[in-house]
């Protein structure tokens, strides 16, 4: 249960922090859209790496599987939380526009987590092979 709570908590924070940053810098979206569009992926990447590190510190094996799991869960959580706001909420946006403008960016989340998982599995296999 603790594992699922951690996955869910990290996923929520991974959505909430970039959302809060986007709200704080939202005036840039109208005045300097390219700058806004450059800042947001950096924020998402930074926090994905941060939560990936925290998550994997307690994992002992099956890193690639865990990377896939958290990547897919965190991706889905971010999109679901966004859709609650962007489909009918205060920031209504057509689904196609949301997908092109925001959801595509979230694909970096599983790319990062799966990459972490692969690298950790590879490193563990290499270390074990050297001990033989």
User: Three-state DSSP class for 97?
Assistant: helix
Average pLDDT, the chain: 95
Question: What is the reported pTM?
Answer: 0.93
* CB-based contact 109:75 (threshold 8 Å): yes
Q: What is the pLDDT of residues 79-124, one digit of tens each?
A: 999 999 888 867 788 999 999 989 999 999 999 999 999 999 999 9
User: Is the model's pLDDT at 36 over the cut of 80?
Assistant: yes
User: Is the model's pLDDT at 132 over the cut of 80?
Assistant: no
What pLDDT shows up at residue 42?
98
Quote the distance between the C-alpha of residue 32 and its chain's center: 24
User: Is the model's pLDDT at 43 over the cut of 80?
Assistant: yes
Task: Round to whole Å and give the CA distance between 76 and 13.
Answer: 13
Contacts of 112 (CB under 8 A, 6+ apart): 45, 48, 49, 52, 71
Residue 32, Ramachandran bin (φ over 0: left; ψ between -120 and 50: alpha; else beta): beta
């Amino acid at each position: 249960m603790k594992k699922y709570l951690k996955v869910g908590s990290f996923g929520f924070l991974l959505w909430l922090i970039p959302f809060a940053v986007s709200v704080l810098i939202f005036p840039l979206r109208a005045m300097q859209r390219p700058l806004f569009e450059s800042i947001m992926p950096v924020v998402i990447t930074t926090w994905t790496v941060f939560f990936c590190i925290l998550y994997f510190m307690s994992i002992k094996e099956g890193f690639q599987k865990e990377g896939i799991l958290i990547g897919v869960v965190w991706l889905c959580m971010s999109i679901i939380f966004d859709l609650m706001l962007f489909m009918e909420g205060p920031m209504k946006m057509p689904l196609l526009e949301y997908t092109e403008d925001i959801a595509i960016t979230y694909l970096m989340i599983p790319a990062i987590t799966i990459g972490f998982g692969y690298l950790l599995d590879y490193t563990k296999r290499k270390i074990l092979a050297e001990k033989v």
